[in-house]
Amino acid sequence: MLSAERAVATVKGLWKRGGDKAKALQTYRATPLESDYSPAQLLMGRQIRSDIPQHPATLRPQWPNIKGFRRSEKQAKEDQQRRQDMWLTRERKTVGLWYELLERKNSEKLCTF
């Protein structure tokens, strides 16, 4: 699932719970991601006020380290791709072995009269 599709699904899930839609979006934008930066902080360079308890010092404008953020995001994507490739390789080997056993079994059935 693409990140944009994931974001839309998250927002729809927030809205289905009911309550104030604007407040739900504000809370979502203020919640830090895996990179320890919130979407609002990446966009505006500061945390936004919300119902999430925060230390007042975190509300001061301070741009995140964009180079470090991009490097960590790139590393995370490469790690995810490597894990997926390992899983697919293992899965292909398993499926290949299964087909090989199935073909061997079918050939034995065809040879016996």
Segment 1-22 shows an average pLDDT of 81
Token pair of 106 as six digits = 């079918």
Taking only the tens place, the pLDDT of each residue in 73-86 is 899 889 988 888 88
Lowest mean pLDDT segment, chosen from 18-22, 27-31, 65-69, 98-102: 98-102
pTM: 0.47
DSSP-assigned states of every residue in 40-78: HHHHHSSPPP-SS---GGGGS-----HHHHHHHHHHHHH
Q: Is the pLDDT of residue 112 over 70?
A: no
